[in-house]
Structure 1
């Protein structure tokens, strides 16, 4: 099955390049395209906002109908893979950044430079955050446009800070300060000092990449050929997390338990994606004051936040469907698209000019200042590096399982745990040469 898939996707990518100049300037006849989307698979703001954007797009483009295909994020690549093998049309997808490398190599994701006229592509990119554009680039070409993404945000309960005798106007800026404040919260209140989204079945390594790189390390090298999560800098970062666990500042909780604890006012700090901001605000309303700060640093080292979320990747090979999918892609990453994404889901806008524009996000940002730390971190964003090859998920899960064990387990040998796992997963990387 895999060999058949690779043959099909190779043909699809070859056809896409050959037909690039044939993509029409506009959609003049009715066409229906598929949009594989994980926000549609969930209840709540993400699904509602996605349906709203699709409806607005269809109203503006009467010749294009969008068939939304709801798929859970952890199943997205597998579903697209199966549908390609079955001959089903796959036109546009909300691809997780973790799977973007796999999508370019095995799922027929098209580099935009090969199918979109250069002047049109340049015009659409104008006004976008350069760091954000880099999120979807591999090998110098754009395989995805950042769609729903965030940097790590430290949400905190201002009421619990006051109860512990801390100043809520000065949240921790370093991990050392966080530990000191966490111990004071533990001593003076019944609250859990800290929860993080670093571990969990859907987290993979997006947040951990930012933590490790903020200490000068990396999970994998830049050309994605060598795993490096057992370097001294990485070991030091995981050892810091273990210290927080050993001192009772954080516990190994499920993401559901974490979110419920914060929303109920029982957890003081939460390092997580801004996608959960709406949920936390609902819990905080009339109960406590929720605030937000940037991800903590390691001493005086510069914070290097990575990104969560997804990119839009275009898989269509038929020129007419390519144009239709590109038009949808443009709308979803337009000023209007990012206004909906930010105000109704909670993710970052890739177009900073809309933040203070009253026609777009201006009034919303005034009423929702929690987004400011997240926006500020865009300037320091270091793009997430997707793990390579068909074993990317196995590599990521094995690595994160080892880090979780090194953080919360009984074995104090953090270096040994990470080194053994790194040697094992290195063999799962695609062969070189």
Structure 2
């Protein structure tokens, strides 16, 4: 993602093909009798602590006001990788949901392996009044985030996020450290080890869901690149050094935790970890749960090097099988992309809204952004945002799993960062041949 593009996104904040029938059936049924609502499924991966309650709220409010459509939300665990696996299994049975959240890392994988309909195609066929909805409400470069390598508008950007550092200022003060937190990874390592030594509490936790998002930020900010020239290239000296420094906190000084994402976030909220490196989308959960002096600050940089922060979040794709369900899917999507719904989504999570006018609207986020200081941690570092690496072809799911396996082995101490990353890079490049 080009630097000027992400700067435009930041300013905006503070401002496919019709499906072939193939005999497939909807997950929730096809056409309904006259006067009945068309029922569709919305697949998402928002756990209760990361937007799940807001999903339920938005679906409930939509269903209450819609005369024609009823939406059923289905939660998929294991984030976007888990959703992809479940979608693969569902499609194999001849069924499909109507709308799905697709993580940025799976843009090409999804579009190469599943049937979808471009949103503008549904609009043009059934909603002439909405003909310019996308053009009017989204910056061209933001819409471009959901275009695949062939130029198809696979879906519409829904969530944008960056990794930030949440800090327990009380614990930092107790350890004799600067309560404003570290600015570099080198300082963070020192802070983590000092917190462990002075307080007995853990100093650091980096998120470990079923993706490599945070680890990409760690390595690429040190000069590594996940891919170069169509091949995996993260096992460079820069990538190995960054991962090794992270692993040493877990396996040698024992100042950092290696546990599940949910457990790690809760350990921070409970006051047992001094610093938490995770998505800004955990903002609402952290603010609600923490009883100490908590803050969110910019992601650390490696000393003397520019930050490279993969854009997290997802886009929404229409996978509805019938004309009635495609129409219903657009009606629900239009509701989700309204100023009020986008504002509710940001307030309930922390995601940066992709629609360009939400930040300034009185019925949007205008007052919220002034009052909520944590959001600045994400909005002030958008000039460092890069694309979340999407491995090409059909290798997406396997490559992601290989990276997760390597993470576990390295943090368990069963293999060195050098060997773990080098072996994983070789395996992924074997898939990409």
**Shorter-chain TM-score tier:** 0.7 to 0.9
Q: Which residue does 1:160 correspond to in 2?
A: 171
Q: Which residue does 2:268 correspond to in 1?
A: 262
Q: Which residue does 1:339 correspond to in 2?
A: 343
Equivalents in 2 of 1:351, 1:53: separation in Å?
17
Contact in 2 for aligned 1:306/1:381 (Cα 8 Å)? yes
Q: Which residue does 2:219 correspond to in 1?
A: 212
Q: Per-residue deviation at 1:123?
A: 3.9
Q: Per-residue deviation at 1:321?
A: 3.1
Equivalents in 2 of 1:249, 1:131: separation in Å?
41
Q: Which residue does 1:63 correspond to in 2?
A: 68
Contact in 1 for aligned 2:340/2:363 (Cα 8 Å)? no
Q: How does 1:166-205 map to 2 (within 5 A)?
A: 166-169=177-180, 171-197=181-207, 199=208, 202-205=209-212
Q: Larger relative contact order (C-alpha < 8 A, sep ≥ 6)? A: 2
Contact in 2 for aligned 1:263/1:282 (Cα 8 Å)? no
Q: Per-residue deviation at 1:335?
A: 1.7
Aligned counterpart for 1:372 among listed residues 376, 392, 396: 376
Equivalents in 2 of 1:156, 1:44: separation in Å?
18
Matched, 1:304 2:304: no
Contact in 2 for aligned 1:135/1:384 (Cα 8 Å)? no
Q: How does 1:410-429 map to 2 (within 5 A)?
A: 411-412=415-416, 414-429=417-432
Q: Which residue does 1:19 correspond to in 2?
A: none
| Per-residue Cα deviation, 1:188-220 (whole angstroms, up to 9, x for no partner) | 2222111111x3xx3311222222222222222
Q: Per-residue deviation at 1:113?
A: 5.4
Contact in 1 for aligned 2:18/2:118 (Cα 8 Å)? no
Gaps of 5+ in 2: 1-15, 23-33
Equivalents in 2 of 1:67, 1:153: separation in Å?
32
Aligned counterpart for 2:99 among listed residues 84, 92, 105: 92
**TM-score of the two chains, using structure 2 as the length reference:** 0.81
RMSD of equivalent CA atoms = 3.1
Contact in 2 for aligned 1:335/1:360 (Cα 8 Å)? yes
- Higher mean alpha-carbon deviation, 402-411 vs 261-270, is at 402-411
Equivalents in 2 of 1:67, 1:303: separation in Å?
40
The count of residues paired between Structure 1 and Structure 2 equals: 400
| Per-residue Cα deviation, 1:53-107 (whole angstroms, up to 9, x for no partner) | 2233345542233233343345422333333343335321122334333321112
Flag the 1:121–1:347 CA change in 2: closer, same or farther, 3 A.
Answer: farther
- Higher mean alpha-carbon deviation, 364-373 vs 78-87, is at 78-87
Flag the 1:257–1:87 CA change in 2: closer, same or farther, 3 A.
Answer: closer
Q: Per-residue deviation at 1:44?
A: 6.0
**TM-score of the two chains, using structure 1 as the length reference:** 0.81
Gaps of 5+ in 1: 1-9, 17-27
